[in-house]
């Protein structure tokens, strides 16, 4: 008896239990090996190594192994069997780049949300976690050499895009009923944002997750949201590099699209939505051949 596709006829709950079980097992093994084999656990280089290991143990390998158990054609189930046109290869990264000031504008607006006074302790805790996440990102991203920049692009842009898209768009989104694609896209986007545990970046990250979900729905290819996700992360990595080199300032990066440059954010949003429309026109096919959110069940 082969394990491939052995759970194809099981209900969603059983599939989730196996998926989470694989994730918990691989994560536990990773952390144990980390504790036993790594001496200096506080250096930036070893923390980057831990991030790589966690990307594979939490996102990449569990998604691949789950798809192997769930479907006779795992690559088809994950939408890794279909490519996309060169037009989309240009249009998608360009649109994500254009949307960057708009995303920054929404982030600033999200950061100004204040909870009711009786939730002051919760708000303080959320802001402390946000500051800690920002500090860790800057610790990883602030480099001033090209080799270090390229390594950061791999660790902070390419690998997270690969792992998180396999997990959320490739696996999670496909578990929802095919008859309710928009519910699947938005529920997955909410989960995608919530799992980062950054309340003050929740709204822009949720909207980005929804865009990634629609890219999969329109094109039937997981490579397209991977490309968009990697581009979004790469923009931040390159900006940190430019700040470290002294070419731009922290303030210019943090405030672009808000305050005195609000017009840039609004223009970015308008042009970005136009880009999304063009992507939809380029990626979408006739309704009869539009791919489902997951491969047909065997």
Does 7 fall in a domain?
A: no
Between these two residues, 287 and 9, which has the higher pLDDT value?
9
Mean of the per-residue pLDDT values for the chain?
A: 89
Does 156 fall in a domain?
A: yes
**pLDDT > 60? residue 1:** no
Number of domains composing the chain: 1
Identify whether the C-beta of residue 222 lies closer than 8 Å to the C-beta of residue 79.
Answer: yes
Does 108 fall in a domain?
A: yes
Mean pLDDT, residues 86-107 taken together: 95
Does 177 fall in a domain?
A: yes
Ranking 138-152, 234-248, 273-287 by mean pLDDT, the lowest is 273-287
Tell me the Ramachandran region of residue 179: left when phi exceeds 0, alpha when psi lies from -120 to 50, beta otherwise. alpha
- Sorting pLDDT into bands at 50, 70 and 90, what band is 4? confident
Tell me which residue range forms the domain holding 253.
75-289
Burial of residue 132 (CB within 10 Å: 0-12, 13-18, 19+) is: exposed
**pLDDT > 70? residue 60:** yes
pTM of the model: 0.91
Cα 271 to the center of its chain, rounded Å: 22
- Sorting pLDDT into bands at 50, 70 and 90, what band is 165? very high
Task: Give the pair of three-digit tokens for residue 151.
Answer: 């390594």
Mean pLDDT, residues 266-280 taken together: 97
- Sorting pLDDT into bands at 50, 70 and 90, what band is 261? very high
Does 65 fall in a domain?
A: no
List Cβ<8 Å contacts ≥24 apart for 188-196.
188/213, 189/213, 192/164, 192/168, 196/133
**N-term to C-term CA, the chain:** 16
Residue 202 neighbours by CB under 8 Å, 6+ apart:
110, 193, 194
Does 161 fall in a domain?
A: yes
Mean pLDDT, residues 203-213 taken together: 96
**pLDDT > 80? residue 284:** no
Mean pLDDT, residues 232-258 taken together: 92
**pLDDT > 60? residue 285:** no
**pLDDT > 50? residue 252:** yes
Task: Give the pair of three-digit tokens for residue 110.
Answer: 């999200």
Mean pLDDT, residues 150-168 taken together: 96
Identify whether the C-beta of residue 100 lies closer than 8 Å to the C-beta of residue 268.
Answer: yes
What DSSP string runs through 270-285? HHHHHHHHHHHHHH--
Dist CA 100 CA 267 (whole Å): 11
Q: How many alpha carbons fall within 13 Å on the CB side of residue 108?
A: 17
Does 253 fall in a domain?
A: yes
Does 31 fall in a domain?
A: no
Instruction: Count the residues in the chain.
Output: 298
Residue 290 neighbours by CB under 8 Å, 6+ apart:
217, 218, 220, 284
∠ CA(259), CA(264), CA(268), 5° rounding?
A: 130
Task: Give the pair of three-digit tokens for residue 159.
Answer: 């690998």
Q: What are the pLDDT digits (tens) for 215-238?
A: 999 999 999 999 999 999 999 999
Identify whether the C-beta of residue 106 lies closer than 8 Å to the C-beta of residue 258.
Answer: no
- Sorting pLDDT into bands at 50, 70 and 90, what band is 297? very low
Burial of residue 170 (CB within 10 Å: 0-12, 13-18, 19+) is: buried
């Amino acid at each position: 008896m082969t394990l491939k596709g052995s759970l194809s006829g099981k209900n969603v709950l059983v599939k989730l239990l196996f998926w989470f079980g694989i994730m918990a097992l691989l994560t536990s093994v990773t952390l144990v090996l980390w504790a036993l084999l790594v001496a200096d656990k506080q250096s930036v280089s070893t923390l980057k190594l831990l991030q790589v290991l966690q990307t594979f143990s939490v996102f990449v390998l569990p998604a691949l192994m789950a798809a192997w158990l769930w479907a006779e054609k795992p690559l088809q189930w994950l939408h890794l069997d279909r490519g996309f046109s060169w037009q989309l290869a240009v249009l998608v990264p360009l649109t994500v780049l254009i949307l960057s000031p708009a995303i920054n504008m929404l982030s600033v607006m999200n950061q100004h949300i204040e909870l009711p006074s009786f939730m002051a302790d919760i708000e303080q805790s959320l802001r402390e976690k946000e500051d800690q996440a920002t500090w860790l990102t800057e610790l990883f991203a602030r480099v001033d050499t090209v080799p270090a920049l390229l390594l950061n692009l791999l660790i902070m842009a390419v690998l997270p895009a690969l792992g998180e898209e396999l997990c959320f768009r490739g696996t999670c989104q496909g578990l929802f009923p095919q008859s309710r694609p928009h519910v699947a896209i938005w529920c997955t986007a909410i989960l995608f944002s919530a799992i980062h545990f950054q309340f003050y970046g929740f709204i822009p990250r949720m909207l980005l997750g929804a865009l990634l979900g629609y890219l999969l729905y329109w094109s039937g290819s997981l490579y397209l949201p991977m490309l968009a996700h990697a581009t979004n992360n790469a923009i931040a990595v390159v900006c940190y590099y430019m700040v470290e080199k002294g070419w731009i300032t922290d303030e210019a990066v943090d405030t672009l699209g808000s305050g005195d440059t609000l017009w840039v954010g609004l223009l970015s949003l308008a042009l970005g939505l136009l880009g999304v429309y063009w992507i939809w026109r380029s990626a979408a096919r006739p309704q009869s051949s539009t791919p489902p959110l997951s491969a047909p069940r065997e």
